[in-house]
Structures are given as C-alpha cells and as structure tokens.
Amino acid sequence: MAMILSYFDEVGHRLIKTVSYTLSVLQMVYLSCRAALFDQAQGMRTVFSVVSAQIYFTGWQAMPLVTILALASGAIIILQSTAQLNLIGNAAFVGNLMVMIIVRELGPLMTALIVIARSGTAVSSEIGNMRANREMEALESVGINPLSYIVFPRILGGVLSVLCLAFYFNVIALIGGYLVTRFMQDMPFSFYAESLAQAFSFEDVEVFLLKNSFSGMIIFVVCCYQGMLVKQSAHEVPQVTTKAVVNSIIYVTGFNLIVTTLFYLNKLMVLGII
C-alpha cells in the first residue's frame, strides 16, 4: 500500500512540476509579447535588427544541413516506396506516400530537430551567458526590457525561420529527392508530379502551418526560458542548455504526435468509421 501511495505521490509531484513549468513558460511569452508590443516608449528598429539576425543564424545558416537531410530523406523514401509499390502495381501512390511522410510528418519533425540542435542550444547558452555576464542587468539599467529586446525577437525570428526551413525542406525533399533517385529508377517526372499534385490537399497546408509554427514557438520559448533560469554563475549554462534540448525535443515530438493523432481521428470521423 505504501508503495502504491508513494507511486501516486511521485506522479502527482511530477504533474505539478510540469504544469507549473508550462505556466511559467507561458507567463514569459505573455510578458515578452506585452513588453514588445505595448511599450510605446521603445523604438522597434532595434528589436527588428535582432529579429533579422535571428533569422540569419537560424534560417539561412541552417540551409546546407537541411538541404543534405532533405535530399537524403526524399531519395530514401522514393526509392523504398517505389520498390514496394511496383510490386503491388500501385506506383501512382508514391505522391500520397511522399505527402504523408515528408510534408505531414518528417518535414516538421526533422526541421524541428535540426533547429533544436543548432539554434536551440545556441539561444539557450547565449542567454545563459548573458545572465552570468550581467548583460541582462545592463539592459535593465538603461531601461531596456530583456523580455522585449532578447526574448521576443528570438521567438519571432525562430518561428519565421522554422516555417521557412520546413517549406524549404519539403521542396528539396519532394523535388530534389526525385532528381537524386532519377539515376536509379526510371519514373517519369510528369508521372511523379501528377501523383504529388493529386495527393496534396488544403489540410496539408493547415497541418504544415500548425505543426511548424508551434514547433518553432515551443523550441525558442523553452530555450529562452531555460537560458533565463541562469542565476549568476557560468557553471549553470551547460546545465540549462542540456535541459533546454531535452525539454524542447519532448515538447515538440509530443506536440507533433498529438496533432497527427487528432488529424487522423478527424479523418476517421469524416469517413464515418468512428
């Protein structure tokens, strides 16, 4: 009995911790948006310079890595699926498979993981070091709210970068992947393009926007929050960075899973199965 009670105690403790963490993160988002959008005294020019820098580091500099991963993923899925579909005589379904796997699932997840690995760690450690080096205090001392000057532009730049990177990933995986496999199989491009065009629907755009915008927000909000948790010493920076990466991966994959589940439940309801 004592063991069961201690188990429930542990579960309850973790649940409270998770809820309070989420509420604190949401509070930071609210305060940073309020500070950035409602503070009439500040000029937006300095904020936008930080946004553009964030887009450059997160979006532009990640493009070579995204290109390689998108080409490889697209090519692998085309090769594997055409081999299997040809066996059952349904090669025209390659478009459906590509849209389902690349656009709805792999694109958002791979992009998010790349951004977490490259930029999430960078943002978290940068903000952590700024806390340790008293740069946040310095900003406050001249009346600059760190939430509007440091946090808000990073979240905004991060969300825009993730959306653009995910779009780029999809295009490269769908088109580039085909071009790479062109040397190994003889599927005509017109056949492949028609199959893709038939597979696309408006729902894919909705899922794309929903998954990528929220993934971007989750990554940068969690990483900024973890960075802000540094109190005064540089030895805390690697600790918060590790936690930022772990929490971002858990939240992003969890969010993607929930959206996918709801999407397919909705499909089943439309078809009248449930």
Q: Which residues bind another protein (CB under 8 A)?
A: 34-35, 38-43, 45-46, 126, 129-130, 133-135, 137-145, 147, 149, 231-233, 236, 239
Q: Packing angle between helix 236-271 and helix 107-115, nearest 10 degrees?
A: 170
Contacts of residue 133, Cβ cutoff 8 Å, sequence gap at least 6: 234
Nearer to another protein, 67 or 129 (CB): 129
Contacts of residue 2, Cβ cutoff 8 Å, sequence gap at least 6: none
Nearer to another protein, 141 or 190 (CB): 141
How far is Cα 215 from Cα 124, in angstroms, rounded to an integer? 16
Nearer to another protein, 215 or 241 (CB): 241
Nearer to another protein, 95 or 146 (CB): 146
Please state the closest distance from residue 147 (CB atom) to another protein, in A.
8
How far is Cα 234 from Cα 192, in angstroms, rounded to an integer? 53
Please state the closest distance from residue 258 (CB atom) to another protein, in A.
26
In whole angstroms, how far apart are CA 266 and each of 34, 52, 93?
35, 38, 22
Please state the closest distance from residue 37 (CB atom) to another protein, in A.
9
Nearer to another protein, 204 or 236 (CB): 236
Please state the closest distance from residue 142 (CB atom) to another protein, in A.
4
How far is Cα 61 from Cα 42, in angstroms, rounded to an integer? 29
How far is Cα 208 from Cα 104, in angstroms, rounded to an integer? 6
Nearest to 111 by CA among 63, 176, 41, 146: 63
Please state the closest distance from residue 93 (CB atom) to another protein, in A.
48
Which structure tokens are listed for 250?
């858990």
Please state the closest distance from residue 135 (CB atom) to another protein, in A.
5
Nearer to another protein, 35 or 97 (CB): 35
Identify the DSSP state of 201.
-
3-state percent breakdown (helix, strand, coil) of the chain, nearest 5: 85, 0, 15
Please state the closest distance from residue 43 (CB atom) to another protein, in A.
3
| Cβ 131 vs Cβ 230: under 8 Å | yes
How far is Cα 28 from Cα 228, in angstroms, rounded to an integer? 10
Locate tokens 């088109």: which residue? 175
Nearer to another protein, 7 or 30 (CB): 30
